[in-house]
Amino acid sequence: MTILGYLQSQKWLILMFVVLMSFFTLVTLIDPIMQIHISSLLYIEGVAVIIFALYCGFDYYRKKSFFNKLKRISEIDEYIPFSDSMIDSENMYVQLMKIQQEKHIKKLERMELERKEWQEYMTSWFHEVKTPIAVSRMIYETGGSLESLAEEMDKVEHFIEQALYFSRISDFHKDYFIQEIDLERIVKEAVKMHTKTFIAKRISINLDMQKFEVLTDKKGILFILNQLLSNSLKYTECKGSISIHIDCQKRTLRIRDSGIGIAQEDLPRVFEKGFTGKNGRQHVSSTGMGLYLAKKTAEKLGHTLTLSSEKDKFTEAIISFPNTEDRLYIMEQ
């Protein structure tokens, strides 16, 4: 704050002082009762001007110090203590600055957390994706079958799709297109994409479906189904089974497999970001992002995704679709 800037901010106070002094001088000179010599009048006015100037100087120094502290607050991420003798307007400034500072610090913390999560995920992702790439190179160099090469390329494509969804999950609302979708057709499309794995592991599939129209985004619901089917195929032993059932009355889609199941202590955390559990650590390397992304995508679409399981018996995932006649979809931003 400069002296000129301070004087400009106090122009109405200075104007009021000038008007009052002019009024006092005028009344003193024209009133015949008041016998004040002109030199005494000038002395009184001079003292008043000096007092007013001292007040302005003190106020300028105090406000300059105050705004310098505010400026320091805006440049660092730590609180600077203020004295308790602040006037109401200054206290209001400080409270507003503290509110903005807290928001800024929380935003920085959230961005730092997201950056660390992204870095950890990508580190894990690189280790995951390099395996099918290495296998693909070996198949190419040894002249292996095209079917095996295509299977490894499908794995790479799956990992890339997962990474893309992870990178844009917070801005998902910018890329969806809500429309009436035939769920039965989408399920068959998702199953077809995993045909090679079904055949390779000789896993039987039981489809109990009927035509069922739901309001959703095609790419989003297909991504969820692919994640669930991928998990079921990954953790189901050879010659196992997977059943898919559509219940139009309950408005649900159920995917149930005869796989190794999930430990009860892991079940409450399966949708947490980066959580792999005992299965991910003991059986197959995993990034722990598939179910997390499936859950988040379902929430963005207004659906509900739940999971139940019993160790060494089954795992069942249920997607519930709200009744479009009774409820509006509210997409998270």
**Does residue 211 sit in helix, strand or coil?**
coil
At 73, list the tokens. 């607050």
Q: How many other β-carbons are positioned within 10 Å of the β-carbon of residue 3?
A: 11
What pTM did the predictor assign? 0.62
Task: State the residue for tokens 């999950």.
Answer: 169
Q: How many other β-carbons are positioned within 10 Å of the β-carbon of residue 24?
A: 14
Second CATH level (architecture) for the domain 175-333: 2-Layer Sandwich (3.30)
Average pLDDT over residues 221-239: 91
Give the mean pLDDT of the chain: 81
pLDDT of residue 286: 66
Kindly write down the DSSP assignment for every residue of 261-298, as one continuous string.
Answer: ---TTTGGGTTSTT--HHHHHHTS---S-HHHHHHHHH
Q: Taking 50 as the threshold, does the pLDDT of residue 332 lie above it?
A: no
Domains of the chain, by residue range, sit at 3-75, 89-167, 175-333
Task: Strands of 158-290 (E only): list them.
Answer: 178-182, 204-208, 213-217, 241-247, 252-257
pLDDT digits (tens, 9 = 90+) for 293-310: 899 889 888 899 999 999
**Residues whose CB is less than 8 angstroms from the CB of residue 97 and which lie 6 or more positions away in sequence, other chains included:** 70, 73, 74
pLDDT of residue 74: 62
pLDDT digits (tens, 9 = 90+) for 20-63: 988 888 888 877 676 777 888 888 888 999 998 998 888 888 87
